[in-house]
């Protein structure tokens, strides 16, 4: 009898070990962005342990990353009903419904707004320190027309809560609200404060994007150079070159930065080298140097023959005077 008990204990322990290994593998696959494989593992796991909340949440995440909104909504709703005091489940339920609303007709989306709002507000109430749901509420109340519940006052309320929880997020949220309202000065001020208190690349990029959107090329370059000094990220060399080419400013700086980008390029930089070739061709065309412009646009097209922007640039270079 004792041997039987020991055998059953061994089997039970082995099963638990295997189950945990499956969840660990599923998490790792999600981190690697292999969502389909993670979904298959979690689906099979839930056939034998359908009430495992961790597995259900991971399954909903794997579905959501693949934009399978209907299926992920079902999973997150089940979790929220099973654990109504769990803020994260309500947040993910509202988020999945929000993404679904973006993919359907405006009429259908209107019918979903109440449930989305309710899920986010529930999550915010359950967890006073939940940063992500407060961001979601800022965007929710700003993007909705007032007639269906939009409210800048409510958006500012959650931006202020973010400011108390995380000053960086708070200033970024206030910058978002100002930018949404096309208030350049307030947005600029808020993003500068976000840089002061945080200084991450994200904070710099928000200000850079604002400047580019308003045609402030010199300020965009200045801010990008400050970001480069703080973070030494090779991708920022490309960013400076792109701004120099787009706004026809600081050509020497733009050329130097693009050459550095090409010399130090790795796939982690994100922007393929052919884009740097293309930007160099733009700068040289701006300078009236047809020979150098042609050299770089040829390199861009040799790298990627179907490069539409480069083809268009090649036509412009071809029309340049030889002198």
Residues 180 and 190 in one domain: yes
Gyration radius (Cα) of the chain, Å:
26
The closest alpha carbon to 94, from 135, 42, 39, belongs to 135
C-alpha to C-alpha distance for 172 and 192, rounded to whole angstroms = 9
End residue of a domain, out of 102, 127, 152: 127
Question: Number of H helices and number of E strands within the chain?
Answer: 17, 0
Domain boundaries, position 64: 24-127
- % of the chain exceeding 90 in pLDDT: 84
* pTM across the whole model: 0.85
User: Is residue 306 one of the residues assigned to a domain?
Assistant: no
pLDDT digits (tens, 9 = 90+) for 151-164: 899 999 999 999 99
pLDDT at site 16: 41
End residue of a domain, out of 96, 127, 158: 127
Question: Does position 317 have pLDDT exceeding 90, yes or no?
Answer: yes
Residues 166 and 147 in one domain: yes
Question: Does position 305 have pLDDT exceeding 80, yes or no?
Answer: yes
pLDDT at site 24: 87
pLDDT at site 19: 54
User: Is residue 151 one of the residues assigned to a domain?
Assistant: yes
Q: Read off the CATH number of the domain in which 153 is found.
A: 1.25.40.10
End residue of a domain, out of 200, 233, 266: 233
What would the DSSP string read from start to end of 189-246? HHHHHHHHHT--HHHHHHHHHHHHHTT-HHHHHHHHHHHHHHH--THHHHHHHHHHHH
What total number of domains does the chain contain?
Answer: 2
Residues 176 and 100 in one domain: no
**CA 285 distance to own-chain centroid:** 34
Q: Under the phi-then-psi rule, with left for phi > 0, alpha for psi from -120 to 50, and beta for the rest, what region is 307?
A: beta
The closest alpha carbon to 93, from 111, 110, 118, belongs to 118
pLDDT at site 109: 87
What's the sign of the alpha-carbon dihedral 136, 99, 106, 178? positive
Question: Does position 15 have pLDDT exceeding 70, yes or no?
Answer: no
Residues 111 and 176 in one domain: no
User: Is residue 10 one of the residues assigned to a domain?
Assistant: no
At residue 84, what are phi and psi to the nearest 5 degrees?
A: -65, -10
Which tokens belong to 308? 């539409």
Residues 155 and 122 in one domain: no
User: Is residue 268 one of the residues assigned to a domain?
Assistant: no
């Amino acid at each position: 009898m004792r041997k039987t008990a020991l055998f059953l204990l061994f089997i039970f322990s082995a099963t638990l070990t295997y189950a945990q290994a499956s969840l660990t593998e599923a998490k790792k696959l999600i981190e690697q962005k292999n969502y389909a494989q993670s979904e298959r593992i979690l689906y099979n796991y839930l056939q034998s342990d359908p009430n495992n909340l961790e597995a259900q949440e991971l399954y909903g995440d794997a579905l959501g990353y693949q934009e399978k909104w209907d299926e992920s909504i079902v999973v997150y709703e089940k979790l929220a009903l099973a654990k109504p005091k769990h803020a994260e489940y309500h947040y993910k339920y509202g988020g999945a419904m929000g993404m679904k609303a973006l993919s359907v007709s405006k009429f259908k989306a209107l019918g979903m707004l109440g449930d989305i709002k309710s899920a986010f507000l529930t999550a915010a109430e359950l967890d006073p320190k939940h940063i992500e749901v407060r961001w979601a509420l800022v965007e929710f109340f700003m993007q909705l027309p007032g007639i269906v519940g939009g409210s800048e006052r409510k958006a500012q309320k959650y931006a202020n809560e973010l400011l108390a929880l995380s000053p960086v997020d708070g200033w970024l949220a206030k910058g978002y609200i100002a930018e949404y309202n096309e208030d350049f000065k307030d947005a600029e001020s808020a993003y500068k404060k976000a840089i002061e208190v945080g200084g991450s690349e994200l904070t710099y990029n928000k200000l850079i994007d604002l400047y580019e959107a308003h045609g402030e090329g010199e300020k965009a370059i200045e801010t990008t150079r400050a970001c480069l000094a703080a973070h030494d990220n090779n991708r920022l060399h490309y960013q400076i070159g792109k701004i120099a080419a787009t706004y026809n400013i600081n050509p020497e700086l733009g050329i130097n930065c693009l050459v550095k980008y090409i010399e130090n390029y790795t796939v982690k930089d994100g922007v393929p080298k052919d884009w740097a070739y293309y930007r160099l061709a733009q700068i040289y065309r701006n300078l009236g140097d047809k020979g150098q412009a042609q050299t770089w646009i040829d390199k861009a097209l040799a790298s990627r023959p179907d490069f539409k922007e480069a083809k268009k640039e090649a036509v412009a270079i071809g029309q340049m005077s030889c002198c």
